Amino acid sequence: MAVTLHDVARRAGVSIKTVSNVINDRPNVGKTTRALVQAAVEELGYTPNLTARGLRSGRKGAIALAVPDLALSYFAELAAAVIEAAEAAGVVVLIEQTGASREREVALLKSPRLNMTDGLIFSPLGMGQDDVDALRVDYPLVVLGERVFDAPADHVTMHNVAGARAATEHLVSTGRRRIAVVGAHAGEVVGSAGLRLAGYREGLEAAGVAFDPELIGYSELWHRADGANVMRELLARGVEFDAVFGLNDTLALGAMRVLQEAGLRVPEDVAVIGFDDLDEAPYAIPSLSTVDPGRGWIARTAVSLLLQRIESGGGASTARRHVADFQVVARESTISPVS
Amino acid sequence: MAVTLHDVARRAGVSIKTVSNVINDRPNVGKTTRALVQAAVEELGYTPNLTARGLRSGRKGAIALAVPDLALSYFAELAAAVIEAAEAAGVVVLIEQTGASREREVALLKSPRLNMTDGLIFSPLGMGQDDVDALRVDYPLVVLGERVFDAPADHVTMHNVAGARAATEHLVSTGRRRIAVVGAHAGEVVGSAGLRLAGYREGLEAAGVAFDPELIGYSELWHRADGANVMRELLARGVEFDAVFGLNDTLALGAMRVLQEAGLRVPEDVAVIGFDDLDEAPYAIPSLSTVDPGRGWIARTAVSLLLQRIESGGGASTARRHVADFQVVARESTISPVS
DNA sequence: ACCACAGCTTACAACGTTGTACACGGCCGC
DNA sequence: GCGGCCGTGTACAACGTTGTAAGCTGTGGT
C-alpha cells in the first residue's frame, strides 16, 4: 500500500540508501542523482515511515506531556503552548492525563507507553518529596512545578513565592490591609499552594501588616467552585477583609462571583487578584488582576530543554533549573477605572 | 540498555517467539513455560518496545486528535474526554492544533506525522464543503462537527439545529419574546453558527414570534471577548431585548458580564442561555443555562468508532453518522431562583 | 605508470518485534 | 502397533528505515 524507499529506489534506478540520503539531506549525493531521486519521490508521493525510522534511529519525533487534567484551564493553556513550541521544532506531542493522582503519576513514569516518545515533560500534582526516586528515569525528562525539589532531572518552574509576594504588595500599594487568601492547603510547604502562601506572608511582613489566620480560606482543589465555596464560607464567618488573593485565577474568579452576588463591589469594596493570567482573566467583569507566571516561556523552555537532552543522547549530566520571570498584571479588579 | 525479548528468552531458556507469545497471551504456551517466562520478565523488568511492535504489526496503539486550539475551553474539555476514552481502551492520544486555518487543516490530513498513529479524530473549523475530497484518506478517520457534509468518513456530531431550537423554546417558555443572538456568522449555512442560527429561527417560528434581524449580533470568532463586544454593540444600538442566546458558552459568558456591567439584572431583566455546557457554566454568577450537546458521548463515540475502523483493518465500508443526544440545562441565568 | 584519495554509490546488517512454517513428542483411534 | 493429529515450541523472515564498511570510478600527485 504505502510507498517505501524501495519503490522510490526502483523508480529512480538507485539504491535505497541513496534515496535515504536524499531524504535526509546527507551531503554525499551527486546533484543529478539528487534531482532524479527527488523527482521519483514527488511522483510516487513518498512519505517516510516514522515508525521504522524510530525503530532504527531511536529518534521518534514525538514527546509526551503529562498533566493532571486538560479540563483545568491552566493546563489546557500550558498544553497549547507546549504543542505550539514543539510543532515549531517539528515534534509532535502526546498527552497523558494523570488526574493529579500520586499513584498514576508514579506509574506513568515507568509506563511502556512512554517509549513511543523521545522524552517527557511532566507536571506532577500528587507526588511529593518522597517520590523523588521515581524521577530517576533513563529517558530525557523535564519536570514542571515545585512538588519535588532536588529532582534528578531538568526543572522549569515559576516564581511562586516572589510572584505571590508581589501580588500581595500590589494589594497593599492600593491601600488594602485585610487580605483574605483563597485556596490554601493546610500544612503544605512545597507545592504551589504552600509557596504562594509563603509569598503572601512575606508580602505582609514587608509591609508591616500582621498575619491573621482568620483570613486564610482552605480548599483542596482549585476549581472555580472551590473558590466560590471558600468565599461563601469567609463571608458567613463574618471576617472583615478589603481584598482577596486567589491562589490561582479560577479560585479568584469563583470568589469574585460570590462577592458580587453578596452585593459587594469589586474593586471598590473588595479588591481581587489571582495567579496564572488565564486567557479569560482580561474578559471577566471586572477584568481580573493577576500574576502572569510566564506560562508561554515555561512551555518554550521546557520543550527546548527536553529537545537538548534528546539531542545530546540523554547523557545524565547535571540537572538544570530554570525559573520564569513573572509580572503582576493590574486590571480592574484591583484598580478602579478613572471615573 | 533496554531489556529486549532476547534477554528474557536467554534468561528463561526459551526462544524469543515463546516469550512474545507469553507477552501477548497467545494460547499455545504450556503452563510451566508461561510461569517461567513471566518470572524472567518480572526479574528483568522487561517492557515491550512499542515502536518495533508498531513497525512489525502495523498497530501503533496511538491515535491523533486534531482540534483548532486547546486554549479554547470547548476543545480542551473535548480533548480531555477523548484522552480519557482512549486511555480506557489502552490507546494514547497525540494532539495537533490546526489554528482553525483551512490550509493547515488540509495539510494535516496528508502529514507524514500521522503515520505514527493508527487513525485520526478530526475537528475541522476552517475547511468547507469544497474540501470534501481532502477527507478521502487511506487511514481510519472520524470527523467531528458539521463543516463538511457527505464526507467519505465516519462522522460524529451534535444536534445543532434541534439544540438551538430547544434553547430558543426554553427562553420563550419563560415568557421571553425579544431574543438577541450573539455570535452569528454572516451568510453561513453549514458550520455550527449557521446551524444554530437556523435552529433559533425554527424555535421562533414554532412559537409564532417574528424574526427580527436587528436582534442578530455577528462575530467571526467565539471567544469571551467577542461575546462582550457584540453585546456592547447591541446595547449601544439601543435594540430592545429580554433574552440573549449566545451561540456558545464563552460568547454567552462574555455577553452576560457586559449586561451586568450595564446594570441589567440576569435573569430578571435579561435571560441568557449558551451552548456547550462548559465546566465553568454552573459556576458563573448567575449560573449559566445552556445546551449540553453530549460532549462526553461524542468523545467516547468518536474513539469507539475509530477503534472499530482500526480493528477491522480500515476497510472503507460505508461512512457512518452518529448524532449525540442534547439536553437543555436550565440554570439561574434563565430562571430566577425561588425567593 | 602507479598509488592515494576523494566523491559518490552500494550491499549488508541491524533496530525489536510478530507471522509463517515447521519440528518434535505424545496420545488417540483404528 | 502404526498413522495421524494435537499441543507445544522453534527457526527464519520480514516490517522500513539508517549506520557501517566497502566498492567503484576518475583525478591528481609523485
The enclosing H or E element of B85 equals: helix B73-88
| pLDDT value at residue A105 | 95
> Pick from A70, A68, A62: which is nearest to A86 by CA?
A62
Question: From CA A266, how far away is CA A315, in angstroms rounded?
Answer: 53
Helix (H, G, I), strand (E, B) or coil at A122: strand
| pLDDT value at residue B2 | 83
DSSP alpha helices (H): ranges in A207-336?
A: 224-237, 249-261, 295-311
Nearest to A280 among B95, B96, B224 (CB): B224
| pLDDT value at residue A150 | 77
| pLDDT value at residue B132 | 87
Residue at the smallest CA–C1' distance to nucleotide C7: A28
Instruction: Tell if the CB–CB gap between A83 and B95 is shorter than 8 Å.
Output: yes
* B 225-254 residues with CB < 8 A to A: 225, 228, 254
Q: What is the pLDDT of residues A135-190, one digit of tens each?
A: 989 899 999 988 777 778 899 999 999 999 999 999 999 999 999 999 999 988 88
The C1' atom of D19 and the CA atom of B28 lie apart, in whole Å, by: 38
> Pick from A289, A203, A191, A221: which is nearest to A249 by CA?
A289
Instruction: Give the three cell numbers for residue A111.
Output: 509506563
- Chain B nearest-CA distance from A240, in A, is 22
Asked if the Cβ of residue B54 lies within 7 A of any atom of strand C, the reply is no
- Domain chopping of chain A, boundaries: 5-48, 62-158+295-326, 160-292
Q: pLDDT tens, position by position, for chain B (339 residues)?
A: 588 999 999 888 888 989 999 999 888 888 888 888 899 999 999 999 999 999 999 899 999 999 999 999 999 999 999 999 999 999 999 999 999 889 999 999 999 999 999 999 999 988 888 888 899 898 999 999 887 777 788 999 999 999 999 999 999 999 999 999 999 999 888 889 999 999 999 999 999 999 999 999 999 889 898 999 999 999 999 999 999 999 999 999 999 989 988 999 999 999 999 999 999 898 887 889 999 999 999 999 999 999 999 988 655 567 889 999 999 999 999 986 654
Task: Identify the burial level of A47 via C-beta atoms within 10 angstroms of its C-beta, where 0-12 means exposed, 13-18 middle and 19 or more buried.
Answer: middle
The answer to whether A90 and A59 are in contact (CB under 8 A) is no
**Chain C positions with any atom < 7 A from a protein CB:** 7-12, 14-20
Chosen CATH of B160-292 out of 2.160.20.80, 3.40.50.1820, 1.10.3720.10, 3.40.50.2300: 3.40.50.2300
> Pick from B283, B291, B285, B205: which is nearest to B246 by CA?
B291
Number of helical (H) and strand (E) elements in chain B, helices listed first? 11, 12
Q: B267 preceded by cis ω (within 30°)?
A: yes
The answer to whether A101 and A124 are in contact (CB under 8 A) is no
| pLDDT value at residue A335 | 87
Q: Do B62-158+295-325 and B160-292 share a fold?
A: yes
Residue of A nearest to B65 (CA): A94
CATH class for domain A62-158+295-326? alpha beta
The C1' atom of D4 and the CA atom of A119 lie apart, in whole Å, by: 55
Superfamily of domain B62-158+295-325: Response regulator (3.40.50.2300)
| pLDDT value at residue A148 | 74
| Third-level CATH fold of B5-48 | 434 Repressor (Amino-terminal Domain) (1.10.260)
Q: Does B314 touch chain A (CB under 8 A)?
A: no
